[in-house]
């Protein structure tokens, strides 16, 4: 796989990490607002959280577009695997594999917090029942 493809994918993965951090921070603030019984802040934070979520979707799509831009099927499959969490097979792939793994951990943190926030906010109507 070309160094250029790996670097472009790493840039997108790092961008995703920053966006996950933003979503996590806003989710924490939302949990605090729920604990304070501050529905105005909760509503505002929910709206604010939507923007980085939409950017996450666009960034993820940009990563998949990188796979589609590779003409060599083996190289495209390798990048696809790395993006899905496959371990690195060379030192050049390691930064991307590490960032994808970090993103997966951050996503799990976001999901766990989102479950807690959803439960606090909606109780038995939570989508995570």
Q: What is the pLDDT of residues 5-59, one digit of tens each?
A: 999 999 999 999 999 999 999 999 999 999 999 989 999 999 999 999 999 999 9
- Report the pLDDT value the prediction gives residue 124, as an integer from 0 to 100: 66
* d(C-alpha 41, C-alpha 56), whole Å: 23
- Say if CB 2 and CB 35 are below 8 A apart: no
CA angle in degrees (0–180, nearest 5) for 10-64-14: 25
Instruction: Give the domain ranges of the chain.
Output: 3-125
Q: Which residues, 6+ apart, have CB-to-CB distance to 17 below 8 Å?
A: 99, 102, 103, 106
Q: Shortest CA distance to 96 belongs to which of 73, 74, 67? A: 67
| DSSP alpha helix (H) spans, the chain | 3-35, 39-69, 73-83, 94-122
* d(C-alpha 26, C-alpha 92), whole Å: 34
Identify the residue with better confidence: 75 or 124: 75
Query: How far is Cα of residue 110 from the mean position of the Cα atoms in its chain?
Result: 9
At 129, the pLDDT band (50, 70, 90 cuts) reads low
- Residue pLDDT, tens place only, 77-94: 999 999 999 999 999 999
């Amino acid at each position: 796989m070309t160094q250029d493809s790996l670097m472009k994918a790493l840039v997108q993965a790092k961008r995703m990490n920053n966006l996950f951090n933003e979503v996590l921070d806003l989710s924490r603030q939302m949990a605090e607002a729920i604990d304070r019984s501050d529905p105005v802040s909760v509503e505002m934070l929910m709206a604010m959280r939507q923007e980085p979520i939409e950017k996450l979707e666009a960034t993820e799509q940009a990563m998949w577009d990188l796979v589609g831009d590779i003409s060599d099927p083996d190289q495209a499959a390798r990048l696809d695997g790395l993006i899905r969490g496959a371990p690195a097979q060379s030192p050049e792939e390691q930064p991307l594999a590490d960032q994808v793994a970090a993103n997966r951990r951050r996503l799990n943190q976001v999901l766990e917090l989102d479950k807690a926030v959803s439960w606090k906010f909606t109780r038995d109507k939570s989508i995570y029942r």
